[in-house]
Structure 1
Amino acid sequence: MNAVHPKKLLLSKWTAVRPEGREKHFLVSALVLPDAPGEALEWVEIEAVHSRCSQRIQWRELRDAERWRQGWV
């Protein structure tokens, strides 16, 4: 399991373990803040470095070491 804290996710770098196409390296480009204040962060937006395509995922998915590696490997 990757050790990740939601407050330190913004602009963090990630490598997909099983890349699709040429999208291997990603950057957390935005934190999707909850509507109600005081609620926990659930979603982040990650952007592929190669294609600049972005997608929204739950930040806890980044903790799965079978799918993501922290940093650009």
Structure 2
Amino acid sequence: MNTINPNKLYNSKWTATQPRNKEKHFIVTKLLRNEEEQVVEVVIEAVHSNREITLAWQELTDASVWKMGWK
């Protein structure tokens, strides 16, 4: 997978490779930063249900779980 710039993740779209509860497509709605203003976590929202999930931004680099864009 391409390298990801965490500062540019806001509003990016992601597809779960193993959808659960009909939640397949997600959008990054928040970037959570530490004291040094580095992105440490992101909040993603399921398009289908509007459920929010907080995860470390590095988890999006796992191609077995996430694909960039909506497929």
TM value normalised by structure 1 = 0.90
- Superposition deviation, residue 2 in structure 1: 4.3
- Superposition deviation, residue 40 in structure 1: 2.6
Give the equivalent residue in structure 2 for 1:18: 18
Aligned partner letter, 2:14? W
* Residues 16 and 70 (structure 1), Cα distance of their counterparts in 2 relative to 1, 3 Å cut: same
After the TM superposition, which segments of 4 or more aligned residues of structure 1 sit over 2 Å from their partners? none
The number of residues matched between the two structures is 71
As a proportion of its length, which structure holds more strand?
2
| Percent identity between the two aligned chains | 46
Distance in 2 between the 1:24 and 1:2 partners? Answer: 21
RMSD of aligned Cα (Å): 1.1
Distance in 1 between the 2:60 and 2:17 partners? Answer: 11
